[in-house]
């Protein structure tokens, strides 16, 4: 049991720096918070957490190793991710000004009617279509977790990391939907879309230059 706790502590220490660093996930949750409100952002955060379990699952089952050894499979995942990031970036750049409600109990973009399924899908796709996650989880699981660790324990590690990721982004969602933050960003919604759009496109272009290790 103590060996498993040491493995989990080591995984979480590495994972902490990964989740707090700026990236497509953070940009997605921030935009959801400001444009569509707290509910949509939290659901998107849940989608991101669920996609983490997707990465953990195929890593534990050995598919991550197959992808890491196949340039063809890597490129399929990479270009899907590039296309998705650029698509949502262009869509954000073309968006008009959004009225963001100041009341904390109201969803900012309720008038747009973003469904829970769409909000979840945005978060899931943003993380699932990131090929760097393949190598991230493959590398930390192969270096930190023993080959003799039971599969059920490895999935338990994944659940803990997914919970931490979800908690982090829910915190971001709650902070970005406080009355003061909403009031500050109401007049700047068009620039929020333009900035987040450029961030998504830049992340897509950066991803396009990534090569299989």
Taking the C-alpha atoms of residue 23 and residue 174, their distance in angstroms, rounded to an integer, is 19
pTM value is 0.67
- State pLDDT tens for residues 140-180: 776 677 767 888 888 899 899 889 989 988 988 888 777 77
- State pLDDT tens for residues 49-58: 899 888 888 8
- What is the per-residue pLDDT for 117? 93
Nearest to 161 by CA among 184, 194, 137: 137
- State pLDDT tens for residues 72-125: 777 776 787 678 778 877 877 876 655 544 344 444 444 456 889 999 999 998
Asked whether the beta carbons of 176 and 30 are under 8 A apart, the reply is yes
- The residue to which tokens 């945005």 are assigned: 122
């Amino acid at each position: 049991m103590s060996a498993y706790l040491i493995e989990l502590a080591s995984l979480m220490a590495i994972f902490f720096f990964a989740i707090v660093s700026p990236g497509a996930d953070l940009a997605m949750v921030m935009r959801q918070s400001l444009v569509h409100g707290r509910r949509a952002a939290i659901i998107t955060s849940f989608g991101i957490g669920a996609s983490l379990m997707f990465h953990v699952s195929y890593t534990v089952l050995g598919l991550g190793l197959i992808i890491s050894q196949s340039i063809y499979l890597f490129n399929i995942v990479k270009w899907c991710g590039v296309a998705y990031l650029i698509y949502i970036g262009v869509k954000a750049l073309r968006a008009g000004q959004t009225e963001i409600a100041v009341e904390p109990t109201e969803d900012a973009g309720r008038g747009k009617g973003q469904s829970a399924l769409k909000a979840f899908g945005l978060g899931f796709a943003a993380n699932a279509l990131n090929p760097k996650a393949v190598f991230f989880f493959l590398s930390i699981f192969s270096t930190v977790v023993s080959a003799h660790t039971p599969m059920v324990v490895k999935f338990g590690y994944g659940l803990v990391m997914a919970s931490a990721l979800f908690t982090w982004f829910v915190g971001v969602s709650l902070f970005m939907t406080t009355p003061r933050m909403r009031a500050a960003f109401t007049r700047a919604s068009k620039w929020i879309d333009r900035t987040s759009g450029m961030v998504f496109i830049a992340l897509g272009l950066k991803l396009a230059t990534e090569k299989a290790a």
